[in-house]
Amino acid sequence: MSLVVRVIPCLDVDDGRVVKGVHFENLRDAGDPVELAAEYYRQGADELTFLDVTASSSHRQTMVNVVTRTAEQIFIPLTVGGGVRTPEDVDSLLRCGADKVSVNTAAINDPTLISRVAERFGNQVLVLSVDARRERGEQHTQSGFEVTTMGGRKSTGIDALWWARRAEELGAGEVLLNSMDADGTQQGFDLEMIRAMREVVSIPIIASGGAGKAQDFPPAIAAGADAVLAASIFHYGKVTIGEVKDELRRAGYAVR
């Protein structure tokens, strides 16, 4: 585990606005991404993550503009994901101010994307986003956790732990572990999933999905996460970055 725990607000961006829902459905407006990013920077966020939830070509330039404007105002690492399909997409985002880029569906379709990006830009640039849930129906995986796409709505049949381990071998520098079962529920992080992932990868794990109160964050670190990510509770003012860091300090973890 990293020496210092990172607290990362996540901004899901749709056509230039931050949105949030439950299990990626019933999305509602949560504000201007640049304004929210500046506020989280003021509160002491360690990093920021932008996810382009539509990721269509028609919205690509909007996202580039959002990243550019944000990078001019904040001075902490910025990760951008959504619709990244080629090393050229990565290059474009890095040039407009991103520090790291996350990949998901495109890497599932073509795992060589991971190695191509890592070889060109370094593995510290590449974050593997894993949208995982407990297997359902006829899909069976060795770990019981499967990779999904389309915001958890489409099953791939791929074992989530196997996929993260394979991505690490290919050059991924971090795993953003999104629990689709917990996403938006505010009932706490999926500790079982975090523990299982920690057993199979050595790269940093960013835990995502389920945070509802400041007290939810220390257990995620105890389970093996190196960083914690949340969206709704920050966007709607339920919890501040400072309150999360205070709770982590009380639990004995080092934070900036």
Per-residue pLDDT of 108-134, as tens digits, reads 999 999 999 999 999 999 999 999 999
Residue 24 has a pLDDT of 47
d(CA 174, CA 79): 11
Q: Which of 66-80, 136-150, 158-172 has the lowest average pLDDT?
A: 136-150
Residue 131 in contact with residue 148, Cβ under 8 Å?
Answer: yes
Residue 228 in contact with residue 7, Cβ under 8 Å?
Answer: yes
Residue 103 has a pLDDT of 95
Cβ atoms within 10 Å of 59's Cβ, excluding its own? 19
d(CA 144, CA 179): 13
The whole-number average pLDDT for the span 199-220 is 97
The larger pLDDT score, comparing residue 1 to residue 204, is at 204
d(CA 99, CA 12): 17
**Catalytic residue annotation:** 12, 131
Mean pLDDT score of the chain: 90
Domain spans, the chain: 6-251
Per-residue pLDDT of 176-197, as tens digits, reads 999 998 887 889 999 999 999 9
pTM score, two decimals?
0.92
Topology of 6-251 in CATH? Answer: TIM Barrel (3.20.20)
